[in-house]
């Protein structure tokens, strides 16, 4: 990569060299993905052959997990009652004292 930045254009790689190097990178990149898919396929076939597929072999769900929809009416009514209690509270108060102060600041 640094050779592409060389100030002397004669020291920079030719387009053929860049093509060759980038082709090697792409081949290595593709090969790593091919290897990962091959390994995953081997594991999948081993699971099929061992007959360890199905819900009895999967991880057990968390007891509080919810996998179906359920009504929100109870939650909405709770929120509504809390909101109505809060809205009856008065937040206005005149129990404070405000005093205006004047400062004479000389910046000399």
Distance (Å, whole) CA 71 – CA 64: 16
SS3 61: coil
Q: Output helix, strand, coil percentages for the chain, rounded to the nearest 5.
A: 55, 0, 45
User: Is residue 88 pLDDT above 70, yes or no?
Assistant: no
Q: Summarize pLDDT for 24-45 with one digit per residue, the tens.
A: 888 777 777 778 888 888 888 8
> In the chain, where are the structural domains located?
1-58
What confidence tier does 71 reach under pLDDT thresholds 50, 70, 90?
A: confident
Model confidence band, residue 84 (pLDDT cutoffs 50, 70, 90)? confident
CA distance 21 to 4: 12
Whole-angstrom distance, CA of residue 15 vs CA of residue 100: 76
Q: What is the mean pLDDT of the chain?
A: 76
Counting residues of the chain whose pLDDT is more than 70, the rounded percentage is 75
Structure tokens belonging to residue 77:
């009514």
**Residue labelled with tokens 């052959």:** 49
pTM of the entire predicted model: 0.30
């Amino acid at each position: 990569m640094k050779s592409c930045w060389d100030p002397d254009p004669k020291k920079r790689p030719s387009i053929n060299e860049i093509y060759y190097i980038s082709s090697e990178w792409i081949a290595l990149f593709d090969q790593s993905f091919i290897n990962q898919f091959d390994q995953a396929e081997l594991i999948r076939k081993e699971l099929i052959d061992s007959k360890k597929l199905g819900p009895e072999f999967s991880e057990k769900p968390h007891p509080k997990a919810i996998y179906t929809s359920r009504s929100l009416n109870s939650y909405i009514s709770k929120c509504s009652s809390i909101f109505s209690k809060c809205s009856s509270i008065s937040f206005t108060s005149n129990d404070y004292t405000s005093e205006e102060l004047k400062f004479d600041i000389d910046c000399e």
